Amino acid sequence: LADPMEASIEPSTQEMIRRAQQLNIETVFDRAVTMKPCAIGLQGICCKNCAMGPCRLPLPKDGIQGEDTRKGLCGATANTICARNFARMIAAGAAAHSDHGRNVALTFLEAAKGTTKDYKIKDPAKLIQIAPYFGVATTVEEDGVVKDRDLQEIALAVAKKAVNEWGKPSGTLDYLKRAPQPLQDKWIEEGVMPRNVDREIVEIMHRTHMGVDQDYKNLMKQGTRASLADGWGGSMIGTDLQDVMFGTPSPLQAEANLGVMKEDHVNIIVHGHEPLLSEMIVAAAQSQELISYAKEKGAKGIQLGGICCTANEILQRHGVPPAGTFLQQELAIITGACDAMIVDVQCIFQNLANVAKCFHTKLITTHPIAKMEQDNVIHIEFDEHHAMEDAVRIVKMAIDNYANRGAEVIIPRHKTTQIAGFGVESIKYHLGGAFRGDYYTLNDNIINGRIRGIAGVVGCNNARTKHNEEHITLIKELIKNDVIVLTTGCSAIAAGIHGLLTPESAAVHCGPGLAEVCETVGIPPVLHLGSCVDNSRILLAATEVVKAGGLGNDICDLPAAGSAPEWMSEKAISIGQYFVASGVYTVFGYHMPLDGAPEFKNYLYKEMEKIFGGKWDCEPDPIKHAHKMIAHIDKKRAELGIDK
């Protein structure tokens, strides 16, 4: 069994691991003790792409290929195998983000056509802002007079263009032109401009099939192209259209951690990624009718909470508190107070069903592509044509289940307050100039040295590392050194849980320069920018910084760095690659599956910088990790002539 103190730095997590062990319920933390990773897979050199294998190549010693130079049966070298595996991770990650984006675009098309009543245009300003990138006009000329074009007409034109981005037969993705021009030039020169989202993912699967692409550099070219189709395509379109339909986030206050669950309330946890359903659940749970129904059933009200990126989506737009990170999903049920957990796609443990079986919890799957085989799981397929009806049915089911709770409900007391809901627009509002709609104040403070640089800290938790330790140690070290942090995903949830998302934390944890800026402007030193598809907001924020001037001409000129200290998902690899290909020095924690192919690893860690201005790195120690990022920031400051 796992030692709770070794598994997490977070007290409610430790408490719930102990509680699970008392009840003889296995969690991810225990499985991490009994299941050891495969040594060859860990190095990235196991090839199982054909039935002559799996070919498990010999491990190099101290990063050098030794005397044992056996290859795969087809002759595949360590570089080829490692690059194929890496590219396939990008394909899976880009597919997950982009399929989410596609579903959003398809729903937006229905909303624009008026064939669904539950989804509407909530943020017309955002629609008008993005329309030109799709080549959609926002004004019309009638009798020589320029007038605003009908909103529904703009929406329909944008929706059709957006949906087309997944499969258009010619050209390249429309959103690529949002990147700084020098970056676009690099992509064109390197031949990595994505043509359409689906094609780049399919082409990875083709090129990594047995006997196709056998040049690791060429394989990575396609990996890059698919990752860009994710970051500057599927994810970015997903984020934008979600903003149009559900509202662009703006800063708000909320709570975080398992302690947000309430013993005397109906507790509903939404877990997964696509906000299409969870938006409806929020609306249903806040309706007077269902609150009254909950009271009739003996509860004081309905408490919603989120896990993973669905949590971030509804936190950013509605202030619904996240109940936990990726690694706390089983623990939310182990409280005994979770009346329903509703899941859609991605990052959902199969073991949730086994845990739910030990309690009264209704576990509800909602997505046609993500079902569970266990018989205690209920499948209510969500359909955008009757979205609200589905949501009401689910919330009612949770309320009806309130009476079935067992005697022992133990909810950890821990919860924190946080400010979330930042985005490109709100950073502009807080850190823009008084008369200039750009990032003037931010740039000015970077140039004068109060802010040393910008870090993006994102990504998952990983049961192979101590839950939240790397995130929190790293972020604290960065802000102590006056580096402002933009965060998303489970990293953002972790930062919220550990109290780093408050303006007050600036005085406690920041260096004097960053503290002064945060206190003057009234923002936290760590800004929550949303879910993992919202990493596209970080790309656009970086682009705004470039545009505001004084810090070079391209993202790679900025004193900035990226990090995913506890990554585990294939989505993180796609994100890492699009950051690298956008010019960002990107450091991952834990481990990278590259050690078996030192030459390929060197290509990612060194050579790539010559092509895109960004490169990969890996550092498991969070303090050293922070200082690698800071050293890069200082190098960029020196190149810009602003080091002091």
What residues make contact with ligand NFS under the rule CB under 6 A?
273, 308-309, 326, 347, 459-460, 489-490, 531-532, 569, 571
What span, in angstroms and rounded, lies between the C-alpha atoms of 129 and 147?
A: 16
**CA pseudo-torsion sign 470, 473, 477, 483:** positive
Work out how close the CB of 277 gets to ligand NFS at its nearest, in angstroms, rounded to a whole number.
16
Q: Which residue has the tokens 């990594």?
A: 208
Calculate the dihedral angle through the C-alpha atoms of 71, 74, 76, 80, rounding to the nearest 10 degrees: -160
Work out how close the CB of 28 gets to ligand NFS at its nearest, in angstroms, rounded to a whole number.
12
Nearer to ligand NFS, 364 or 460 (CB): 460
Specify whether the CB–CB gap between 226 and 90 falls below 8 A.
yes
Specify whether the CB–CB gap between 149 and 137 falls below 8 A.
yes
Residue 18's SS3 state is helix
Side chain identity at residue 268, one-letter code: I
* Strand 302-307 versus strand 139-142 pairing type: unpaired
Nearer to ligand NFS, 329 or 401 (CB): 329
Nearer to ligand NFS, 79 or 468 (CB): 468
Q: Does residue 132 have a cis peptide bond before it, meaning omega lies within 30 degrees of 0?
A: no
Specify whether the CB–CB gap between 413 and 513 falls below 8 A.
no
What span, in angstroms and rounded, lies between the C-alpha atoms of 495 and 458?
A: 10
Nearer to ligand NFS, 326 or 439 (CB): 326
Nearer to ligand NFS, 100 or 362 (CB): 100
Work out how close the CB of 642 gets to ligand NFS at its nearest, in angstroms, rounded to a whole number.
33
Side chain identity at residue 326, one-letter code: F
Nearer to ligand NFS, 532 or 561 (CB): 532
Work out how close the CB of 531 gets to ligand NFS at its nearest, in angstroms, rounded to a whole number.
6
Nearer to ligand NFS, 105 or 568 (CB): 568
What span, in angstroms and rounded, lies between the C-alpha atoms of 21 and 587?
A: 35
DSSP string, 215-231: -HHHHHHHHHHHHHHII
Q: How many residues can be counted in the chain?
A: 644
DSSP string, 52-93: T--EEPPPPBTTB--S-----TT---HHHHHHHHHHHHHHHH
Nearer to ligand NFS, 238 or 412 (CB): 238
Nearer to ligand NFS, 489 or 525 (CB): 489
The Cα-based distances of 80 to 216, 218, 257, 576, 624 in angstroms read 5, 10, 43, 20, 31
Nearer to ligand NFS, 72 or 576 (CB): 576
Instruction: State both tokens at 425.
Output: 């627009």
Work out how close the CB of 325 gets to ligand NFS at its nearest, in angstroms, rounded to a whole number.
7
Work out how close the CB of 242 gets to ligand NFS at its nearest, in angstroms, rounded to a whole number.
14
Nearer to ligand NFS, 244 or 493 (CB): 493
Give how far the C-alpha of residue 377 lies from the chain's centroid of Cα atoms, to the nearest Å: 27
**CA pseudo-torsion sign 293, 298, 303, 305:** negative
Work out how close the CB of 390 gets to ligand NFS at its nearest, in angstroms, rounded to a whole number.
23
Work out how close the CB of 549 gets to ligand NFS at its nearest, in angstroms, rounded to a whole number.
33
Instruction: State both tokens at 205.
Output: 């699967």
Work out how close the CB of 483 gets to ligand NFS at its nearest, in angstroms, rounded to a whole number.
21
Specify whether the CB–CB gap between 491 and 564 falls below 8 A.
yes
Work out how close the CB of 42 gets to ligand NFS at its nearest, in angstroms, rounded to a whole number.
19
Q: How many CB atoms lie within 10 A of CB 8?
A: 25
Count of alpha carbons within 13 angstroms of residue 370, beta-carbon side: 22
Nearer to ligand NFS, 80 or 328 (CB): 328
Phi-psi region of 19 (alpha: psi -120 to 50; beta: other; left: phi over 0): alpha
Tell me how far apart the terminal alpha carbons of the chain are, to the nearest angstrom. 51
Work out how close the CB of 573 gets to ligand NFS at its nearest, in angstroms, rounded to a whole number.
10
Work out how close the CB of 460 gets to ligand NFS at its nearest, in angstroms, rounded to a whole number.
3
Residue 163: burial class (beta carbons within 10 Å; 0-12, 13-18, 19+): middle
**CA pseudo-torsion sign 527, 530, 531, 533:** negative
Nearer to ligand NFS, 401 or 569 (CB): 569
What span, in angstroms and rounded, lies between the C-alpha atoms of 512 and 248?
A: 32
Nearer to ligand NFS, 31 or 413 (CB): 31
Beta bridge partners of 485: 455, 526
Work out how close the CB of 607 gets to ligand NFS at its nearest, in angstroms, rounded to a whole number.
27
Work out how close the CB of 347 gets to ligand NFS at its nearest, in angstroms, rounded to a whole number.
3
